[in-house]
Amino acid sequence: MTDLRRLLCTAAAGLAALASAAPVEAQSTAIVNARIAQEAGPPVRGTIVFQDGRIVAAGADAAVPVGATTVDAGGRLVTPGLIHPYSQLGLVEVGSVSDTRETNMEGEVNASYQVRDGLNPASVRIPVARAEGVTTALTVPSGGLVAGQATAIDLAGAGVLDMEIKAPVAMAITLGEGSKEAGGGTRAGEFDRLRSLFRDAREYQRRQADYRRGAIQPLSAPAADLEALLPVLRGEVPILARVRRRSDIEATLRLAREFSLHLVIVGGNEAWQVAPALAAAKVPVVVDPYANIPRFDGLATRYENAALLNQAGVTVLIYETEEGGPRDLRYAAGQAIRYGLPRDAALRAVTSAVADAFGLEGYGRIVTGAVADLVIWDGDPFDFSGAPARIFIRGREISRENRQTELRERYRTLPPSY
Q: Which of 5-19, 179-193, 194-208, 289-303 has the lowest mean pLDDT?
A: 5-19
The CA–CA distances, whole Å, from 239 to 81, 83, 194, 283, 372 equal 24, 18, 12, 11, 28
CA angle 396, 412, 157 (to 5 degrees): 20
Task: Report whether pLDDT(358) > 70.
Answer: yes
The more confident residue out of 354 and 410 is 354
Residue 141: HSE in the Cβ half-sphere, 13 Å Cα cutoff: 34
Structure confidence at residue 234 (pLDDT): 96
Entry field: residues in the chain: 418
Superfamily grouping for domain 82-362: Metal-dependent hydrolases (3.20.20.140)
Task: Report whether pLDDT(4) > 50.
Answer: no
Structural domain boundaries of the chain? Answer: 23-80+364-397, 82-362
Burial class for 287, CB neighbours closer than 10 Å (0-12, 13-18, 19+)? buried
Determine how many CB atoms are found less than 10 A away from the CB of residue 408: 10
CATH architecture entry for 23-80+364-397: Roll (2.30)
**Confidence band (pLDDT; 50, 70, 90) for 102?**
low
What is the model's pTM? 0.89
Structure confidence at residue 25 (pLDDT): 45
Cβ 171 vs Cβ 229: under 8 Å: yes
pLDDT digits (tens, 9 = 90+) for 361-383: 999 999 999 999 999 999 999 99
Task: Please list, residue by residue across 116-125, b when 16 or more beta carbons sit within 10 angstroms of its beta carbon and e when fewer do.
Answer: bebbbbebeb
**Confidence band (pLDDT; 50, 70, 90) for 214?**
confident
Residue 410, sorted as left (phi over 0), alpha (psi -120 to 50) or beta, turns out to be: alpha
